[in-house]
Amino acid sequence: MPVTPFLRCQAFDPETVAAMGAAFDEACKALGVVDRADQFAELVAKRIVELAQRGIRSKSALYHGTLQIFEAAPPARFAGEAESAARNCV
């Protein structure tokens, strides 16, 4: 599953979307996320979108920035963030 379904409230240039998609795929693989429809995959995508919103546009920086946050905290920390992020994207 590509990262594009998570961009419903965002607009990025095609090069950035491609970098985000590649970073998403690599981050999911590194984190052991097999089911891209899983809630954890959504959290990975939201992190990548957040980094891109801050101006980080390279695949490598998006990937490493995403892994950094998930390796620093257990996945349970993000459960509430997915729900609040979904509510904010209306």
pLDDT: which is higher, 72 or 53: 53
Per residue in 29-60, pLDDT tens?
A: 999 888 878 888 989 998 999 999 899 999 99
Which has more confidence, 90 or 78? 78
pLDDT at 51: 94
Sorted by where each begins, the domain ranges of the chain are 4-88
What's the pLDDT score for residue 5?
58
Please tell me the distance from the alpha carbon of residue 28 to that of residue 42, in angstroms, as a whole number: 10
Is residue 78's pLDDT more than 50? no
What's phi and psi for 30, nearest 5 deg? -65, -35
Flag whether pLDDT at 63 surpasses 60. yes
CB 26 within 8 A of CB 47: no
Mean pLDDT, residues 59-77 taken together? 78
- Supply the pTM of this predicted model: 0.70
